[in-house]
Amino acid sequence: MRTASAALAIALLWLAHGSLAARAEVSNLTGIGAILPVVETLSEEAEYCGLSVNGINGTIEGALGASRLRIADAGVFLYVNVLTAYTATVDYCISSINVELVVPQTVRLNATHRRVLANLTLWEIGGVFGSAREQHREQVLGMVQNYARQFVAAWTKAQNGR
């Protein structure tokens, strides 16, 4: 039964997230000079698999530190969400990782003409990854670092007008 539950969790993570390539027009990043990384609270399973908010945040900030992009609360957020499932029968962790640049913005709804606050996603990347529990932390942080570097590359390209 546990194996079936683990397989179901893996399938749901994969279907809910899929595998995202970096999506967005690079021009969406033009003019952004500062962002604030925000790491979503992790589940107990993620923590059991060795993940921590501080570890993920440090990885993101390290990748951003190599750029001219400042880390500050300028109303633009690099949002990181990691969902993790663990199966004890094979001591295996599966994580869905999503990194997106989000700007809260007031928009007017066409249907009701009301103004509401909405989060606009300017850039996004993510994927699903699984590994043995002992290796999961290192491998997930490597993926987070890779995603952050891809963001920095897209941001740099936008600032250089390409």
DSSP E strand stretches across the chain: 20-23, 34-39, 70-71, 77-87, 92-108, 115-132
Question: What averages of pLDDT result for each successive group of 10 residues across the chain (162 residues)?
Answer: 51 49 71 94 97 97 91 93 96 96 92 92 93 96 96 92 70
Tokens read off for 34: 């500062």
Q: Which domains, from first to last, does the chain contain? A: 2-159 (3.30.160)
67 in Cβ contact with 108 (< 8 Å)? no
In this predicted model, what pLDDT tens digit does every residue of 24-55 receive, in sequence order? 567 789 889 999 999 999 999 999 999 999 99
CA distances from 93 to 42, 89, 90, 147, 150 (A): 14, 11, 9, 20, 24
φ and ψ at 5, to 5 degrees? Answer: -65, -40
Tokens read off for 148: 């952050």
Tokens read off for 112: 């009701």
127 in Cβ contact with 143 (< 8 Å)? yes
Please give the angle made by the CA atoms of 151, 136 and 38, to the nearest 5 degrees.
40
- For residue 22, what pLDDT is reported? 58
